[in-house]
Structure 1
Amino acid sequence: MHLKSKRKLTALSIWDLHSTHEALEQTAAELEVGMGKVGMPLRVAVTGSGQSPSMDVTLVGIGRERVLARIQRAIDFIKS
């Protein structure tokens, strides 16, 4: 799930609320799961917490480079 989210987010040419929200919705649709199944693991990977503002606001607020680095760190941790 993190891999697909990271791929979608990495591919964005514009990093804004609409684009990040659409990327997460597309990820959920492709995986045939609800947004919670995508958003919650992503929220923990990006913020280290189970609570935050909506994911699009959180992703844009933290910034593209930090978000992608944190997702990669979570992927590496899961693989180890």
Structure 2
Amino acid sequence: MINAEKYKKLLVNKYTNDIRDSASIVEEDLRPPNEDEILIKNYYSGVNATDMNIMTGRSSIFPKDHIPFSLGLEVK
């Protein structure tokens, strides 16, 4: 069993061309993996062009009224 820990993630709060104003880094409780899951600890994660398009509202991946939401397509 994994001890209760925290992890950090990017949360998109609003759509804007000012990337630093669009998202914030938040800390959340880490839930233990289910029986059919594994936990991978990432030390770094990049922000790619798709993430940038999502943060500025130029992507249709998330509906416009779906704010706030976690950012990260490859790693969550």
| TM-score, structure 2 normalization | 0.29
TM-score scaled to structure 1, two decimals? 0.29
Larger Rg, first or second structure (1 or 2): 2
Identify, as 1 or 2, the structure richer in strand. Answer: 2
Higher relative contact order (CA 8 A, sep 6+): 2
